[in-house]
């Protein structure tokens, strides 16, 4: 086996059954796009088997971090897991930044942008990750022709509720656009805000295609080929 024979999709992990079922569907779609490649699901948090254990079990592989911004899981957890096994592991860039068309489709499916859009992101303590999400919001604003404000579900300000309140003061028709891959606790928090809410990205065909694309374009020039840590 080699890093090009086996693909591991690194996800956060979820206690939500719908979120877990969605990830299983995405994994199956990625496998369908990559005949001959063994595709595995792995987790960096919450789940009983975490990424280091999966990498120890599957051997040499390529890892696609299935995250939308370069927060702690992307910059620390995934590379540390890759470096913990005694064989090379190829880590591609994370998924974020490749789903612009999917976001626009979700806006259209929800009935259009209205007066303004709140891009509901997970939030992060990383300035680089927050800047990535701000860039996504700016690109959406240019494409949609309405203001797009980032609201954060965890960790960062403003919250989704605060961002919605700000936009409602300027226009009554506000759309919350989840910049998330799977449903979770954010669904309950957003549902009580009394605004239109688009679907999360996960079931969009571009998600599986984006993951497969990260794998297919990975080579030694644009990924980190990580060797095990010295004892």
pLDDT attached to residue 192: 80
Q: Which CATH class is domain 6-96+205-226?
A: alpha beta
CATH number for the domain running over 100-197? 3.40.50.1400
Closest CA to 37 of 71, 65, 9: 9
Identify the top-confidence range among 4-8, 104-108, 119-123, 127-131.
104-108
Mean pLDDT of 102-112: 98
Lowest mean pLDDT, pick from 19-23, 155-159, 216-220: 216-220
Q: Strand 89-91 and strand 224-226: pairing? A: antiparallel
**From residue 24, how far is each of 93, 105, 132, 149 by CA, in Å?**
21, 22, 27, 31
Q: Are 7 and 215 in contact (CB under 8 A)?
A: yes
Share above pLDDT 70 across residues of the chain, in percent, rounded to a whole number: 92
223 pLDDT higher than 60: no
What's phi and psi for 161, nearest 5 deg? -60, -45
The token duo for 28 is: 């199956």
SS3 99: coil
Q: Where in the chain is the domain with CATH 3.40.50.1400?
A: 6-96+205-226, 100-197
> What confidence score (pLDDT) does residue 151 get?
94
The pLDDT mean for the chain works out to 89
Q: What is the pLDDT of residues 156-177, one digit of tens each?
A: 789 999 999 988 888 789 999 9
Average pLDDT estimate for 40-57: 92
| Burial class (CB within 10 angstroms; exposed 0-12, middle 13-18, buried 19+) of 220 | exposed
Confidence grade of residue 24 (pLDDT, cut at 50, 70, 90): very high
pLDDT at position 3 is 64
pLDDT per position as a tens digit, 181-205:
987 767 777 778 889 999 999 899 9
What is d(CA 154, CA 102) in angstroms, rounded to the nearest whole number?
23
Band (206; pLDDT cuts 50, 70, 90): very high
3-state helix, strand, coil in the chain (%, to 5): 40, 20, 40
């Amino acid at each position: 086996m080699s890093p090009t024979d086996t693909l591991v999709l690194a996800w956060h992990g979820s206690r939500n059954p719908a979120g877990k079922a969605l990830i299983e569907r995405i994994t199956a779609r990625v496998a369908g796009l990559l005949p001959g490649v063994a595709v595995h699901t792995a987790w960096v948090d919450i789940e009983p088997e975490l990424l280091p254990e999966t990498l120890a079990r599957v051997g040499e592989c390529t890892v696609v971090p299935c995250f939308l911004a370069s927060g702690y899981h992307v910059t620390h957890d995934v590379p540390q897991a890759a470096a913990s096994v005694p064989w090379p592991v190829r880590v591609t860039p994370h998924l974020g930044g490749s789903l612009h068309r999917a976001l626009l489709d979700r806006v259209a499916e929800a009935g259009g942008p209205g007066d303004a859009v709140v891009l509901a992101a997970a939030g992060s303590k990383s300035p680089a990750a927050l800047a990535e999400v701000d860039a996504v919001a700016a690109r959406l604003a240019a494409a949609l022709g309405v203001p797009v404000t980032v609201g954060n579900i965890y960790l960062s300000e403003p919250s989704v509720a605060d961002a919605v309140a700000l936009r409602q003061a300027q226009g009554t028709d506000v759309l919350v656009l989840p910049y998330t891959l799977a449903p979770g606790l954010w669904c309950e928090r957003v549902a009580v805000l009394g605004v239109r809410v688009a679907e999360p990205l996960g079931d969009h065909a571009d998600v599986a295609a984006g993951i497969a694309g990260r794998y297919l374009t990975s080579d030694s020039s644009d990924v980190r080929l990580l060797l095990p840590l010295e004892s």
